[in-house]
Chains A and B, each alone.
Chain A
Amino acid sequence: MTPLLHLFALASEGGEHGLDVVTDPGGFAGLLASWAWLIPVVPLVATFAIVLVGKRLPWKGWELAEGSIAFVAVYAVALLIANWQAPMAVEHHVTLSRIDSLPGLGDLVLEWGWVVDGLSIMMFTVVGVVGFFVFTYAKGYMEGDVRFTFFFASFSLFAGGMLVLVAAPNLIQLIVGWELVGVASYLLIGHWWEDHDNNAAAIKAFITNKVADVGLFVGVIILGITVGSFRISDVLDAVAHGDSAVAQVAFWAGLALFIGAMGKSAQMPFHVWLPDAMAGPTPVSSLMHAATMVTAGVYLVGRMFPLYQTPGMADDVKIIIVLVGGATLLLTGLIALVQDDIKKVLAYSTLSQLGYMTAAMGAGAYTAGLFHLFTHAFFKGLLFLAAGSVIHGVHSNDMSDMGGLRRFMPSTYRTFVIGSLALAGIFPLAGFWSKDEILASLSHDAGAGGGAAATLVLWLAILGAFVTAFYMARAVYLTFFGEYKGEGHPHESPRVMTWPLWGLAGLAVVAGFVNMPGLTSSFTDWLASRVHVMGDHHATALNWGLAVLGTAMALGGIAAGTRLFHRDAATQQERDRLRIPVLYPLLEQKYYFDHLYMNGVVGPIKGPIARFVVWTNQVVLDGVVHAFGAAARLASRFVYGWADQRGIDLAINAAAAGTGEAGSVVRRAQTGKVQQYAGALFAGAVLLVVGFLIFG
């Protein structure tokens, strides 16, 4: 807590901390920006407060979590409005400690800080607003859970970690936030740890991320050592000035950072953890997929965007980014077609949408990628919450246990459909605008230097639009149409769960209106208020051809879904309908990625390497330990037999025997006869007198 208090003191005194104001808006907006450090700190403080006193509060700590996220939401929206009126880009740094003359690095300065610019404000808003709805909903969903209080402590940590990451003006703090998110996700995915599968999912998520994190660390270290500073603004300054040392390492640094981003944003081949992360409670999935965790990778690429965009720097990495995004968006979208678990459908859908964002980033479309992140946060958050509402009503995750729920759960049904249409990209919902912008950007990039890769990914993305609409239509029909196939009586969720659905549904409808090509450009302006020029392409007019094509693909997907799943909704033998040879098993086994990792990576580690480690332990380590033990026994035997038994004991026994002998001699004087004592007394007196007479 001490650094936090330290921060508080610095921020309230003002002036003492290193203030790097770039575009200081002044006035109230400036005040908001200089106190923005509260945004990450408040949820983190709430985490500790919930742990300490949560159980004694009337709502078991929920109110602290809700209060902190509501604070973040309000603060973020206030910043958003301020940024809307006058663009701002402010950085504050507080030096925590410095280590002088580190070999190969010079002076390492550890800083805490906060950056308030268009990008971070947009992320604050997404985390705050989506988080607010999810936290509210979670109160209803988690009601009666054994670890209700702990859940909200972890949940606040999750949001707080993401906000630390987003607010980070230096790469070290970014790693801190990155790992806070990772550890919170581990706690939350494994929330119901009594079930072994949930543990396995949590460990899988953590380890997969950790593997990719090596890339992040390598990238950060390369950049930090080359530039001599971990501040992102210093790194981007060096990039902007065409620093030749940075240019030499830019490709590898950019690639390494992107590998880190692939882990958190679950791009192929690091995507395997995300579907398993569904093991956590549904509000966790919702927050994780919408606002907090998977967006971190895209955010990182966005934050470091000039590194990738500046010619001569890491611009060669972009082709990798665009291809990874393209592969992810289509391949994972196809898996969503064969999933029975409603949350897994949404999870693979998230993977697919993250592929869109990544592909947009790779195509140099900073705005388009983050715009999709922004709109996706609302409708994917909504879809997960609605799915959670269904699960809450049906007590099953499997769509084969659902069906016909539109009669039982009208609010959930309507909001789920709104979310699905937004995700499918139907005009005029949010997804239409962001997906269209990505398609337009890819198309522009294909003509402007992206070449064949961009062209390929453009077609993958158009195909992806069809797949997206198809699997969402399937999910809607299987869940809400036909006859109910599960057990018991499904019921609508309580109002604490339905009104967040409607709130997010409203946002899923309107969120796209902030960036309609040729009409509004607010979102573009928000994101443009940064210190370093982005140089990205964003459409100024609607690309009619692509818009119509994209919408047609989406409608086609819905039509295909209707054709296949609506008519038979009563019986819904959907598994037979999609059972195409080769393709179906391939999809059902998720392209055998899990097998590959289990047999190719985990297996060897568990097999020979584990055996080697056991051998090392049993033979080498235990041998050393046993040798030490044997030596100690020999030494102690000598010490006992010689030093103790024959040395020390001898001396002690001799002393005791001597004392006894002396006592048995001297005690004879103690006769007990008074008159002998008196005689001795008088004899002594006489001796003294005689002595005095002779010698005196």
Chain B
Amino acid sequence: MIVNQFLVLGALLFSIGVYGVLVRRNAVLVLLSIELMLAAVNINLVAFGAFVDDAAAAGQVFALFVITVAAAEVGIGLAIVVLIFRNRSSANVDELDLMKW
């Protein structure tokens, strides 16, 4: 079995996610891009899990954990975005420069 095509897919997805995080202005889209990166990691995990033929299926189990954490993370992240939007009428991350000197 060849694992390369899954790894190429994961790398592509991860790179698209990094691009989205760094470039998109909308906070919701930044969060979505993070989800893309996590999805790329999951693909890697599952691919390696199948590749090494682990009896305990550790790759799949880790992928499930990552999904769970990603759900929690996006829940908190969206809540923060909603609160920021209510306060500032904008979800644009360029305008969130309170930590400037």
List A residues at the B interface (Cβ < 8 Å).
Answer: 667-668, 670-675, 678-679, 682
A663 shortest CB reach to chain B, Å: 9
* Residues of B with C-beta under 8 A to A674: 93, 96
Instruction: Kindly state the separation between the CA atoms of A282 and B30 in the bound complex, as whole angstroms.
Output: 108
Q: Is the CB of B22 within 8 A of A679?
A: yes
Q: Is the CB of A670 within 8 A of B99?
A: yes
A-facing residues in B39-78 (Cβ within 8 Å) = none
Indicate whether B100 reaches chain A with its CB closer than 8 angstroms: yes
Q: Is the CB of A672 within 8 A of B98?
A: yes
List B residues at the A interface (Cβ < 8 Å).
Answer: 18, 21-23, 30, 93-94, 96-101
Neighbour of A673 across the interface among B21, B23, B30, B94, CB < 8 A: B94
Q: Is the CB of B100 within 8 A of A670?
A: yes
User: Which 4 A-B residue pairs are closest in the complex by CB-CB distance?
Assistant: A672-B100, A672-B97, A667-B101, A670-B101
Q: Is the CB of B100 within 8 A of A675?
A: no
Q: Is the CB of B22 within 8 A of A682?
A: yes
Instruction: Kindly state the separation between the CA atoms of A249 and B101 in the bound complex, as whole angstroms.
Output: 98
Instruction: Kindly state the separation between the CA atoms of A332 and B51 in the bound complex, as whole angstroms.
Output: 137
Instruction: Kindly state the separation between the CA atoms of A200 and B19 in the bound complex, as whole angstroms.
Output: 106
Q: Is the CB of A678 within 8 A of B97?
A: no
Instruction: Kindly state the separation between the CA atoms of A672 and B97 in the bound complex, as whole angstroms.
Output: 4
Can you name the residue of chain B whose Cβ is closest to the Cβ of A673? B97
Q: Is the CB of A675 within 8 A of B22?
A: yes
Q: Is the CB of A672 within 8 A of B99?
A: yes
A151 shortest CB reach to chain B, Å: 80
* Residues of A with C-beta under 8 A to B23: 675
* Residues of B with C-beta under 8 A to A671: 97, 100
Interface centre among B22, B30, B94, B100 (most CB of A within 10 A): B22
Q: Is the CB of A678 within 8 A of B21?
A: yes
* Residues of B with C-beta under 8 A to A673: 93-94, 97
* Residues of A with C-beta under 8 A to B97: 671-673
Instruction: Kindly state the separation between the CA atoms of A674 and B23 in the bound complex, as whole angstroms.
Output: 11
Instruction: Kindly state the separation between the CA atoms of A518 and B78 in the bound complex, as whole angstroms.
Output: 133
Between-chain CB contacts (< 8 Å), 21 pairs: A667-B101, A668-B101, A670-B100, A671-B97, A671-B100, A672-B96, A672-B98, A672-B99, A672-B100, A673-B93, A673-B94, A673-B97, A674-B93, A674-B96, A675-B21, A675-B22, A675-B23, A675-B93, A678-B22, A679-B22, A682-B22
Interface centre among A667, A668, A675, A679 (most CB of B within 10 A): A675
Instruction: Kindly state the separation between the CA atoms of A621 and B18 in the bound complex, as whole angstroms.
Output: 88
Known: A674-B93, A675-B21. 5 other contacts (CB 8 A): A670-B99, A672-B97, A672-B101, A675-B22, A675-B30
Instruction: Kindly state the separation between the CA atoms of A668 and B100 in the bound complex, as whole angstroms.
Output: 9
A400 shortest CB reach to chain B, Å: 101
Instruction: Kindly state the separation between the CA atoms of A615 and B99 in the bound complex, as whole angstroms.
Output: 76
Can you name the residue of chain B whose Cβ is closest to the Cβ of A675? B22
A665 shortest CB reach to chain B, Å: 11
B96 shortest CB reach to chain A, Å: 6
Interface centre among A672, A679, A682 (most CB of B within 10 A): A672
* Residues of B with C-beta under 8 A to A678: 21-22
A683 shortest CB reach to chain B, Å: 10
A291 shortest CB reach to chain B, Å: 93
A123 shortest CB reach to chain B, Å: 95
Can you name the residue of chain A whose Cβ is closest to the Cβ of B93? A674
Can you name the residue of chain A whose Cβ is closest to the Cβ of B99? A672
B69 shortest CB reach to chain A, Å: 19
Interface centre among B93, B98, B99, B101 (most CB of A within 10 A): B101
Can you name the residue of chain A whose Cβ is closest to the Cβ of B27? A674
Instruction: Kindly state the separation between the CA atoms of A672 and B23 in the bound complex, as whole angstroms.
Output: 16
B93 shortest CB reach to chain A, Å: 5
Answer whether A682 and B100 are a contact pair too, CB < 8 Å, given A674-B93, A675-B93: no
B18 shortest CB reach to chain A, Å: 6
* Residues of B with C-beta under 8 A to A670: 99-101
